[in-house]
Chains A and B, each alone.
Chain A
């Protein structure tokens, strides 16, 4: 059972929350997150439950025009 993080399979964490997944992924701050295409506010990471196959996107700042 896994979720897809930035296009790569990642084991589903226990408990299956976004906060646990971010720990597993070792996301580097600063970052922001979307689950299945929808932005998830930072305040909701603990309560955001994830399911097998969910698409998680973690983004960081980069250069842009």
Chain B
């Protein structure tokens, strides 16, 4: 690791990470494929969930549990599928005990068509969870007032969507996302949901976002392991570009080659005006 990479770590609730890629664990063809994607993508966090145990189920999550343990990665449980405050709070409490972490990716869904967060219940739930000692990473939209309320509630990380979950559309509202970054310069912002291509991830990182969470974009690729590698590189490239400071966009062409001393320099009529 270079010195700059060492200095430029992602800090989430006091934990420092070298990688800025967060990876979902769902929809892979096999546990081995997931394990390979994790190894190649080198994510800082893995998102996981909870589901009901079937009576007499032989495995009941045990092999997945072992896979997670073997990766040695930090686990970020979610509250996927929750629609109200009580449901989300109790899911978070079960996740905290099961995964032994206070980190929680808070999802409170308000619409079944586009799986959009319910902004009102999200703030209410986040407020409750912060009081209970959780470190909340809320899945939210790019709406500035919502994000401000979540920060007021005690969230130290925000996870605005790029587009609806699983669509792969990429940033649907670039100007609002960039405005959010400008207005909330100090809080870690992870773009979550709707990323479909490494170029989408690279772009939001160039805008100054702190990380990207992807799942379907990797797991539903023809070659998920190859795509995990591509996302890892894209997130790194976007971050490096942000730190390097992109040039200012110009309205008109500006020659990059020196004008003076051209071998066959002539004064054109339009240059004399």
Listed in ascending order, the chain A residues whose CB lies under 8 Å from chain B are: 5-8, 10, 25-34, 37-39, 41-42, 57-65
Among B46-97, those with CB < 8 Å from A are 47-57, 59-62, 64-65, 68, 77-78, 80, 86-87, 90, 93-95, 97
Partner of A32, one of B65, B78, B95: B95
Give the CA-CA distance A29 to B61 in the complex, in Å.
8
Q: Which of A29, A32, A65 contacts B50 (CB 8 A)?
A: A32
Asked whether, in the complex, the Cβ of B55 is within 8 Å of the Cβ of A63, the reply is no
Q: How distant is A9 from chain B, measured CB to nearest CB, in Å?
A: 11
One of A27, A34, A62 near B90 (C-beta < 8 A): A34
Kindly list chain B residues whose C-beta atoms are within 8 Å of the C-beta of A25: 55
User: When the two chains form their complex, are residues A64 and B55 in contact, meaning their CB atoms are under 8 A apart?
Assistant: no
A57 vs B81: C-alpha distance when bound (angstroms): 15
Contact A65 B97 (CB under 8 A): no
**Given A34-B90, A62-B51, A63-B25: A41 and B68 interface contact (C-beta under 8 Å):** no
CB neighbours of B25 from chain A (8 A): 63-65
17 contacts between A and B (CB under 8 A): A7-B52, A28-B60, A29-B62, A32-B93, A32-B98, A37-B86, A37-B87, A39-B94, A39-B97, A60-B65, A61-B65, A61-B68, A62-B48, A63-B25, A63-B34, A65-B26, A65-B27
Known: A64-B47, A65-B78. A58 touches B53 (CB 8 A): yes
Closest CB-CB distance, B169 to chain A, in whole Å? 16
| B61→A5 contact, CB < 8 A | no
Beyond A10-B55, A62-B64, list 13 extra A-B contacts (CB 8 Å).
A7-B52, A31-B60, A32-B94, A39-B93, A39-B97, A60-B51, A60-B98, A62-B48, A62-B61, A64-B47, A64-B77, A65-B47, A65-B216
CB neighbours of A61 from chain B (8 A): 48-50, 61, 64-65, 68, 98-99
Decide: A59 and B98 in contact? CB cutoff 8 A: yes
- Among B56, B61, B68, B216, which residue has its beta carbon within 8 angstroms of that of A60? B61
Nearest Cβ distance between residue A23 and chain B, in whole angstroms? 13
Of the candidates A5, A26, A63, the one whose C-beta lies within 8 Å of that of B48 is A63
Across the interface, which residues of A come within 8 angstroms of B28, CB to CB?
63
Q: Cα distance A58–B27 when bound, in Å?
A: 23
> Is there contact, CB below 8 Å, between A65 and B215?
yes
Q: In the bound complex, what is the Cα–Cα distance between A65 and B115 (angstroms)?
A: 13
B238: A residues at CB distance < 8 A: none
- Which A residues touch B166, using CB under 8 A? 65
8 smallest beta-carbon distances between A and B, as pairs: A64-B49, A65-B24, A60-B61, A65-B215, A32-B94, A39-B93, A28-B60, A59-B50
